[in-house]
Amino acid sequence: MPNPPLISPTQIDAAAVQAQLEQLARFSSAPAPAVTRVLWSEPDMQARAYLREQCATLGLEMREDGLGNLFARWLGTAPELPAVASGSHIDAIPNAGMYDGTVGVIGVLAAIRALQQVGFTPHRSIELVVFTAEEPTRFGVGCLGSRAMAGTLTLAQLASLRDSDGHTLEQARHAAGYTAELAHVAVPEGHYVAFIELHIEQGPVLEQAGIPIGIVQKIAAPSSLRITLTGEGGHAGAVLMPDRHDALLAAAELALAVEQAACSSGSPDTVGTTGVLRIAPGAVNSIPAHAVMEIDVRDTDLAARDRTLAAIRTATAAISIRRGVQATVELLNADPPAPCAPALTDTVRHVCQTLGIAAQPMISRAYHDSLFMARVCPITMIFIPCYKGYSHRPDEYAAPEAIATGIAVLAQTLAHLSQVSA
């Protein structure tokens, strides 16, 4: 089988890519430069319609499953073979930026366009996957679409999901026009031969090193806890300090214990974050009687991650006894790390060498849909630098030339993998 033609960064229409990213950013419920695009909101539905139009211009065959995962396939000469897949997500947390996820979606379209323009025909089909709800904003579960595709969410678990307005997942997806059976969302074994995700780094390593490409070797193991603390309320002026059982003070102490547990895990990659703290009754002259905390802990080292979780549980018990509050701990998720396939990382490395593009191996401390696609097929990720590592904020930025370089590497990688017959 002939080698695919080389696709250099200069063959990527960087201006067209930027225009598409900017158009997606306009589908937002927050004013520019912020982007807020929550699952099945009006901006999300507008962005989905726009993407379908872009896929149609390239002649891609499209389908959507019952969760709204979008699949756009460039048919190869051997459509019966498992396809090569690539993609990311387009939803955005409140007050986010315009590059997270979207670079990995628009990037696939640009890669296919570049390959089509040089007359390349894939042997295996190449499929863009646009995942539903990588962000946990609406239903509290990150990577909703890819989790369901990987079969890690049962139908009962999906049915139990509710948003902050009390709408069930079933009600919300039907209202958005997605009525197909959820039992058919899981991807059958052997459906894909590989999955590659292009993404901004969301960290400062590549920019600081002046290296244009990161080749991801492993994705960190994420986990999250919800801890509910119940103390005793009372009048702020009438209850003396020795007699208090303040749920907020217990939560504050526990948040510091999370930091300590992460710092003493024995692994330099352990991170612990108390990202949510809600108290009630929430009045300045009332002692907090209730506190709810949501805590994120992750590491590429599963043992270190789990030691940190255990240390947080131990601290919760000790603090609750000392402060006279009741504590319940709920494990929301504890996913294993995902190793990237050596054959795929070697392919990306070879592509970079062929194109004369510097690259370095990396780990991904943020998790992505690739974490769950690893249960479906071999995976890796291609990182590009972003300004100061900023992400999930309006000033998130990746330079057009950096994006074009990433797309060129992605295009060449997809072309190579699509020509592998076995």
Whether residue 2 is predicted with pLDDT greater than 80 in this model: the reply is no
331 confidence band (pLDDT: 50, 70, 90):
very high
DSSP state of 387: G
Decide the pairing of beta strands 286-287 and 234-235.
antiparallel
Rounded Cα distance between 106 and 258, Å, is 38
Say which CATH class 221-334 falls into.
alpha beta
Compute the mean pLDDT over every residue in the chain, rounded to the nearest whole number.
96
Rounded Cα distance between 322 and 231, Å, is 12
Question: What's the rounded mean pLDDT across residues 334-341?
Answer: 94
Question: What's the rounded mean pLDDT across residues 413-421?
Answer: 94
The whole-number pLDDT of residue 17 equals 98
147 confidence band (pLDDT: 50, 70, 90):
very high
Domain with CATH 3.40.630.10 in the chain: 9-220+337-419
Ordered alpha helix ranges (H), 324-376:
342-355, 370-373
Query: pLDDT tens-digit profile of 226-240?
Result: 999 999 999 999 999
Rounded Cα distance between 327 and 247, Å, is 9
The one-letter amino acid code at 215 reads I
Is the Cα dihedral 109, 115, 116, 117 positive or negative? positive
Say which CATH class 9-220+337-419 falls into.
alpha beta
Tell me the two tokens of residue 301. 């080292």
Whether residue 5 is predicted with pLDDT greater than 90 in this model: the reply is no
Ordered alpha helix ranges (H), 277-334:
302-323
Rounded Cα distance between 237 and 225, Å, is 33
Domain with CATH 3.30.70.360 in the chain: 221-334
Whether residue 408 is predicted with pLDDT greater than 80 in this model: the reply is yes
Query: pLDDT tens-digit profile of 109-137?
Result: 999 999 999 999 999 999 999 999 999 99
344 confidence band (pLDDT: 50, 70, 90):
very high
Closest CA to 136 of 226, 55, 231: 226
The count of C-alpha atoms lying within 13 angstroms of the C-alpha of 55, restricted to the half-sphere facing its C-beta, is 25
**Cα angle vertex 262, ends 201, 315, to 5°?**
145
pTM, two decimals, is: 0.91
The whole-number pLDDT of residue 4 equals 79
Characterise 373 by phi-psi region: left (phi > 0), alpha (psi -120 to 50), beta (else).
Answer: alpha
Query: pLDDT tens-digit profile of 69-108?
Result: 999 999 999 999 999 999 999 999 999 999 999 999 999 9
Tell me the two tokens of residue 136. 């946990």
Give how far Cα 73 sits from Cα of 14, 288, 371, Å.
23, 54, 22
